[in-house]
Amino acid sequence: MNIVVCVKQIPDPAAPQALDASHNLDRSGKLILDEADTYGVEMALQLVDKAGTGEVTVVSMCSASDVAGLRNALAMGAAKAIVVSDDSLRGTDALGTAKVLAAVIRRVNPDLVLAATESSDGYTGTTPVQVAELLGLPSITFAKSVAIDGSTVKVERQTEAGYDEVAAPLPALVTVTAGVVEPRYASFKGIMAAKNKPLEVLSIADLGLAGETGPTGARQEITDVVAAESRAAGEKHVDDGDGAEKIVSFLESIKVL
């Protein structure tokens, strides 16, 4: 059971966020492994462990100058990382990203590809399915549990009404929601081992994707960024045991009660 997990390094969501002059997200600060990706890494490690054979490869598109987030995935237990790093990637959209990731995954030829449902910076939420389509793989999105049964992947998929049990033949791609598993913390031993694990760096030329990425490949542009209509803060009271009564009065004033 060889599994590829697509991961992304993002600016710390807890820090202030900004767009740069060309309307790209400012990524100049320290980058971290998107927490949403830790669930996929953990799920992959558990599935490989259960299969008793195979390994987990993390694949990412990012600058090779800051890979601390990928080392974190290796420290959790992934065997190796492949990074596509190229100046021409700046401004690449979701489909261009999918083309890059699909080209890398094709080289690894795994049994299963895992990804988060969306990244916690761009939130586009289509890249994994685009990857699946480019690879000609079936996909099951929004998994809240994942199990392998022979050559079939069985998933409990979140729905509006509850959940569906969905099955697909391997190889396949699955996107996992947070909470599908509890991600482990990297151990000291894991962190030390990660320093020596293979981290392969590829360029766009290596993948034969010149012209498909960057702003030209994106075929879309941001025309403007404006301040959204803001809400003003209203009344604020410190609870002196009468907070509940005050809420009831407010609800009466807006005719909810």
**Segment 219 to 238, residues that bind other proteins, using CB under 8 A:** 219-228, 230-231, 233-238
Residue 117 interacting with other proteins (CB under 8 A):
yes
What backbone torsions phi and psi does residue 154 show, to the nearest 5 degrees?
-115, 130
CB of 167 to other proteins, least distance (A): 6
Determine the Cα–Cα distance for residues 257 and 254; give it in Å rounded to an integer. 8
Identify the bridge partners of residue 60 per DSSP, sorted by sequence position.
83
How many residues bind other proteins (CB under 8 A)? The answer is 79
The single residue among 158, 191, 193, 201 that binds other proteins, judged by CB under 8 A, is 158
Residue 144 interacting with other proteins (CB under 8 A):
yes
CA distances from 35 to 43, 115, 120, 129 (A): 13, 12, 8, 20
CB of 23 to other proteins, least distance (A): 7
Residue 2 interacting with other proteins (CB under 8 A):
no
Instruction: Show the tokens assigned to 25.
Output: 């997200």
The single residue among 68, 147, 210, 257 that binds other proteins, judged by CB under 8 A, is 257
Which of residues 196 and 239 has its CB atom nearest to other proteins in the complex?
A: 239
CB of 80 to other proteins, least distance (A): 26
Residue 179 interacting with other proteins (CB under 8 A):
yes
Residue 133 interacting with other proteins (CB under 8 A):
yes
The single residue among 21, 52, 123, 150 that binds other proteins, judged by CB under 8 A, is 123
Contacts of 245 (CB under 8 A, 6+ apart): none
Residue 192 interacting with other proteins (CB under 8 A):
no
Interface residues for other proteins in 75-94 (CB under 8 A)? 93-94
Determine the Cα–Cα distance for residues 103 and 225; give it in Å rounded to an integer. 33
Residue where the block lists tokens 């190889």: 171
The single residue among 19, 68, 192, 205 that binds other proteins, judged by CB under 8 A, is 19
CB of 172 to other proteins, least distance (A): 7
| Ramachandran category for residue 211: left, alpha or beta (phi over 0 → left; psi -120 to 50 → alpha) | left
Which of residues 60 and 130 has its CB atom nearest to other proteins in the complex?
A: 130
CA distances from 156 to 51, 162, 165 (A): 19, 10, 5
Q: What is the DSSP string of 47-94?
A: HHHHHTS--EEEEEES-TT--HHHHHHHHHT-SEEEEE--GGGTT--H
Residue 146 interacting with other proteins (CB under 8 A):
no
11's enclosing H/E stretch is: strand 9-11
**Binding window for other proteins (CB under 8 A); candidates: 105-113, 120-128, 190-198, 199-207:** 120-128
Instruction: Show the tokens assigned to 255.
Output: 């005719």
